[in-house]
Amino acid sequence: MTPLIEPFAQFAFMQRALLGCLAISLSATPVGVFLLLRRMSLTGDAMAHAILPGAAVGYLVAGLNLGAMTIGGVVAGLIVALLTGAVARFTALREDAALAAFYLISLALGVLLVSLKGSNVDLMHVLFGTVLALDNAALTLLCAITTVTLVTLALVFRPLVLECADPRFLASVSRWSGPVHFIFLGLVVLNLVAGFQALGTLMSVGIMILPAAAARFWATSIGGMLVVAALVAVLSSVAGLLASYHAGLPSGPAIILAAGSLYLLSLVFGPAGGLATRFWPRAHLDA
């Protein structure tokens, strides 16, 4: 049996880790593509930090309980999203600055809350996740979030694409502009919470943004980017889990570093605007 198949064939914890990563790959990468198209990539990073205090409150109440930490993370993320929108709308502060302020406050508050009750091991679990320790309840949650995300994206796909291209036009011809924006932010929070279960709050945004950024160098259509981003995320998950098994590396960082490596390769060799095509363009025949 080859080293590529052996870990997943012999060990149940590796099978659960792979299934969880596949669910996250199919769910988070479409959200990441739309974040990239809407020029909101850093928003995902900020929201990943914003869910930490809610997860910490759930941890203080119930310990390392999946349900409590998930509900806390979702509530905290939505509160930060709503507060950011309110500050941007009713004050002179821009949305990016308001989000940066709230996510810094959230990150510090979350770390403080976890530190009050837990140990350094618990803090590392919350920040960086334990994908190799996923149980059946966590897998059920991840698959449920994947289903909700894909169904919701299918329902709002057209207005979401139009908002990426021309949000003012969508606002002028349809009432979907506002609802679509908040539905999308809800999906961002939901998928960050899903990623948090496996990769932790500091790593979950990586599986969302890096595959989407890599896909930009291989496809020019939205459909193509969605497919390539999912493939990159799946390959990164498999490579990271294998590196974790064979080399004893931390699984979450290994997965994100694999995604980062594929992004760097795409940056150099990608046919849709990569460095190679820019500095060594293909020869073409003159008409």
| DSSP states of 141-203 | HHHHHHHHHHHHHHHSHHHHHHHHH-HHHHHHH-S-HHHHHHHHHHHHHHHHHHHHHHH-TTT
The pLDDT tens digits for 6-16 are 888 889 999 99
Taking the model in full, what pTM does it have? 0.84
Terminal CA-to-CA distance of the chain, rounded, Å?
55
Each residue of 89-116: b (16+ CB within 10 Å) or e?
eeeeeeeeebbbebbeebbebbbebbee
pLDDT at 73: 83
Strands, DSSP E only, in 41-110? Answer: none
Structural domains of the chain, ranges and CATH numbers in brackets? 6-278 (1.10.3470.10)
Residue 221 is classified by DSSP as: S
Q: Which of 158, 161, 252, 244 is nearest to 206 (CA)?
A: 252
Q: Which residue has the higher pLDDT, 170 or 196?
A: 196
What does the buried/exposed string (b/e) look like for 25-54 if buried means 16 or more CB atoms within 10 Å of the residue's CB?
Answer: bbbbbbbbbbbbbeebbebbbbbbbbbbbb
Check pLDDT > 60 for residue 83. yes
224: pLDDT strictly greater than 90: yes
Helices (H) and strands (E) in the chain, counts: 15, 0
Both tokens of residue 32?
């990441």
Cβ atoms < 10 Å from Cβ of 221:
9
- Reported as a pLDDT band with limits 50, 70 and 90, residue 287 is very low
Better-scored residue on pLDDT, 179 or 215: 215
Q: Tell me, what's the pLDDT at 16?
A: 92
**CA torsion sign, 114 to 115 to 119 to 124?**
positive
Of 148, 146, 145, 177, the residue nearest 164 (C-alpha): 177
6 vs 63, residue with greater confidence: 6
